[in-house]
Structure 1
Amino acid sequence: MHLEIATEPAHPQRPNEDFTAASPSAVVLLDGAGTPAGSDCGCSHGVAWYVSRLGVSLLAAVTNQPDRALTDCLADAITQTAGLHADTCDLSHPGTPSATVVAVRLADEVVEYLVLADSTLVLEHTDERGPVAVTDDREALVGAALRGAMDAEAAGTAEHAEALRGYVEAMRAHRNQPEGFWVAAADPATAYASLTGNVPRADLTGVTLLSDGASRLVDRFELADWAEALRLIREQGPAALIREVRTAELSDTDGRRWPRGKTHDDSAVVRVTL
Structure 2
Amino acid sequence: MLVDVASYARPQGPNEDFALSDSTAAVVLDGAGMAPGMNSGCQHGVAWYVEQLGTRLHAEATQGDASLTDCLATAIESTASLHRDTCVVDNPLSPSATVSVARVRGDVFEWLVLGDCTVLIQSNGVVTAATDDRLARVAPHAREALARAVPGSPERQRAHEALVQEERSRRNERGGYWVAAADPTAASQALTGSESTSRVQSAALLTDGAGRLVTTFRSTDWQGYMTMLNHGSPEDVLRQVRETEASDPDLSRWPRSKQHDDATIAYIRP
Interval of TM-score (by shorter of Structure 1 and Structure 2): over 0.9
- Out of 131, 146, 150, the position equivalent to 2:146 is 150
- Single out whichever of 82-91 and 248-257 deviates more from structure 2: 248-257
Partner in structure 1 of residue 261 of structure 2:
265
Partner in structure 1 of residue 165 of structure 2:
169
- Out of 197, 203, 212, the position equivalent to 1:201 is 197
Partner in structure 2 of residue 78 of structure 1:
76
| Aligned counterparts, 1:89-238, within 5 A | 89-127=87-125, 130-238=126-234
The AA in structure 2 aligned to 1:148 is E
The number of equivalent residue pairs is 270
SS of structure 1 residue aligned to 2:121: strand
Distance 1:97 1:78 in 2: 11
Distance 1:86 1:180 in 2: 24
SS of structure 2 residue aligned to 1:147: helix
What is the TM-score normalised by the length of structure 2? Answer: 0.97
Residues 155 and 253, structure 1, Cα contact 8 Å, conserved in 2: no
Partner in structure 2 of residue 24 of structure 1:
23
SS of structure 2 residue aligned to 1:19: strand
| Structure 2: runs of 5+ lacking an equivalent | none
Distance 1:24 1:6 in 2: 17
Give the deviation of 1:232 after TM superposition: 1.7
Give the deviation of 1:158 after TM superposition: 2.5
| Structure 1: runs of 5+ lacking an equivalent | none
What is the TM-score normalised by the length of structure 1? Answer: 0.96
Residues 154 and 256, structure 1, Cα contact 8 Å, conserved in 2: no
Residues 155 and 263, structure 1, Cα contact 8 Å, conserved in 2: no
- Single out whichever of 176-185 and 196-205 deviates more from structure 2: 196-205
SS of structure 1 residue aligned to 2:44: coil
Q: Please, what is the CA RMSD of the aligned residues? A: 1.1
Residues 19 and 266, structure 2, Cα contact 8 Å, conserved in 1: yes
Q: C-alpha deviations, 1:175-222, integer Å up to 9, x for none?
A: 111011000000101010100111111111011010000001111110
